[in-house]
Amino acid sequence: MTHIPDWVNQSKEELNNPPASKSGELSSAERALAYSLISIEKGLLLDLQKELFSMVVLLLESAKSGSTRLEYDAKKWLEVAPRIVGSPGLRRPIIYTEGGVFTERNYRLESDLSENILSRFTIRLEKEKEEKIDNAIDEVKLKPTVAESGAKLTLSGSQWNAIQRAISHRLSIISGGPGTGKTSIIVTLLRILVRIGIDPKQIVLAAPTGKAASRMNESIQAQLGRVGDMSDEDSKLREHLSNAQTIHRILKYSIKNRKFQRDADEPVRAQFLIVDEASMIDLGLMKALFDATPKSAQVVLVGDARQLPSVEVGAVLRDLVGSKTLAPAVGLLHDSYRVKASGADILKAASDIDHGRTDAFFEKCVTTEHFLGRGISILVDDEQSEKLHPFLDRWFDREFMNKEMVALRSRTFHCEKGLFSVQESKRLDDIFSQFRRAKILCATRVWKTGSTSINAFLHKRLLTNSKLSSEFSWLVGEPVLMTKNNYEQHLFNGEQGVILFVKTDDHEPKAMVVFSTSDGYRPFSLGGFSRQIESAFAITTHKSQGSEFDDVALILPGHISKIVSRELIYTAITRARRSVIILGSSPVLSAGIKNSNSRATSLGQQIDAGFLGLSSTTNNPNESDGNEDVK
């Protein structure tokens, strides 16, 4: 076993390191692993050991925060530590390029994914399809879907531009914020595909989480059901289009082998793959998805590149949108079609956040002590979160002591053979709608303002107001969240459920956790899920991605923190359709808007560099673009 010297756990300042990255410190165990890594290189003097260790720690911290590379001049280590640091193409723990240093795994992931993307982007689509596409577009324009109000949903020029790019490229990206019509674009695209001869069974709809997949299904089916003059093609689409599934389910993740069964040798059967909420997909999962998708298939990634990036490493959607090579295949949506004034105000404020316009953002906010139910308001709390618990008391009374929620806690739902009746399902629709109406979002799990502390406070409030004894770990009427992937039950990290009284078959009623799944509502025993769920009165902003609520409360820490970033605040407030109330101090909020916590990655640069290399071998580098006329 490697002996770990005392200086390994000294502070960076004591090691005379360069300025630290924005990520958190490594744990003692992780620093010990870093030392074990540098120990591979024998015979290094102590000063060189410390310098190399410093670089490795910074790189691992950077990777821990989601970056794939660290800007660092490590050229000398190619000769001084050749067993540890190598150039691209060599299998070394650390890879050095002029752009910085990478762990070998992250460099390989970005390199392999960029090659896969380029191989798709340089395949030209058949010219003979163009006339079919034009005819299909004309037909769909004559038979648009309609809104719930009955008004025709007429797409804008930028929306049609995004559709044209999606049809014309093997790989395309559609990026826009809430209210920009991404669902309408997907539905219109599906209707066109059927008309040009694509079998609906060969169209695969995917999302990174079960929650996002369910929402994708609901939105698409709702619009398909409102086609004004439904044709045979539209009927065929509704009948045969498969439900959206999680990427893990599509790739058939094996619990036993801890890997995906679908890959380049056993690919997904699809002519067209549409992936929603793509900003949530990390580098490793995106590579696995592209590896398992046939090169003959067309891929459309849909999402909001301005949102928080994935929890795991990478910022794939942002990198693809920023690539110069892929620009002809990127459809950017800027216009909001939310008609309610409060929703439009939120999106205008979100634009200010995205551009770092602090003063303009504050001008759109109202300082308040109460719930306004519209636009953006700020409950200023400059006294170390002294207003937090009074605010939570009011929130609890508003959301959990109303007549519907009180009645819910005494109601028993009946389930036979694992299925709820149509009537019971309608009642569950109402309940889940209540929980989806409003949500508390936090910047982090920790501290007094984190989701863990807030959930404990509201759990106690529910316990006090319920007739259940404290021996229950979970209380009837309590919202919960999956914290792990349960592949056997097809329930995934981030999915939300509710604790309810359920009577199954001939058993006595008992508290069970009910989830909304692609197969309908399903109850599960709390005993089997006790270590897979947590209270969800409040959730982190990361966990809220893929969701929308009427009202959102954003709880900020009582001190300035690098965790509070422009991307986090943007993501949080764009979860709201009607109102946002922000609890926190002006300095914390201002610092967050100014703090663009962008990850250091190289996927976009590798794609562009790879395309230049391909271009140098052809007379016309744009000939294989397949979309010369789409600008």
**pLDDT of res. 128:** 67
**pLDDT of res. 470:** 45
Instruction: Provide the sign of the torsion angle of the four alpha carbons 540, 543, 546, 547, taken in this order.
Output: negative
The dihedral region occupied by 82, where left means phi > 0, alpha psi between -120 and 50, and beta the remainder, is alpha
Q: State the DSSP code for 480.
A: E
Q: Where are the beta strands (DSSP E) in 236-333?
A: 245-246, 253-254, 259-260, 272-275, 298-303, 330-333
Query: Which tokens hold the place of 37?
Result: 């890594």
**pLDDT of res. 627:** 39
Give the mean pLDDT of 554-580: 93
pLDDT at 18 over 60: no
**pLDDT of res. 16:** 44
What are the pLDDT digits (tens) for 506-527? 788 888 999 987 678 999 988 8
Nearest to 398 by CA among 585, 586, 579: 579
Give the mean pLDDT of 355-371: 89
Give the mean pLDDT of 217-239: 89
Averaged pLDDT of the chain? 87
**In the chain, what percentage of residues exceed pLDDT 70?**
92
pLDDT at 471 over 60: no
What are the pLDDT digits (tens) for 596-610? 878 999 999 999 999
The dihedral formed by the CA atoms of 555, 558, 562 and 568, expressed in degrees to the nearest 10: 10
pLDDT at 631 over 60: no
Query: Which tokens hold the place of 63?
Result: 């990777």
**pLDDT of res. 618:** 55
**In the chain, what percentage of residues exceed pLDDT 90?**
59
The dihedral formed by the CA atoms of 148, 152, 157 and 163, expressed in degrees to the nearest 10: 70
Centroid of chain to Cα 576? 16
Q: Which residues have CB under 8 Å from 601's CB, separation 6+?
A: 67, 68, 69, 110, 314, 315, 318, 319
Strand partners, 175: 303, 332
Torsions phi, psi for 61 (to 5 deg): -65, -40
pLDDT at 121 over 80: yes
Neighbours of 135 (CB within 10 A): 13
What are the pLDDT digits (tens) for 324-341? 999 999 999 987 776 555
Query: Which tokens hold the place of 189?
Result: 């695209």
**pLDDT of res. 330:** 96
Q: Where are the beta strands (DSSP E) in 87-202?
A: 94-97, 100-103, 171-176
Q: Which residues have CB under 8 Å from 166's CB, separation 6+?
A: 172, 174, 185, 189, 298, 300, 331
Split at pLDDT 50, 70, 90, the class of 487 is confident
Whose tokens are 């005379």? That residue is 16
**pLDDT of res. 472:** 56
What are the pLDDT digits (tens) for 377-405? 999 887 667 899 999 999 999 999 888 88
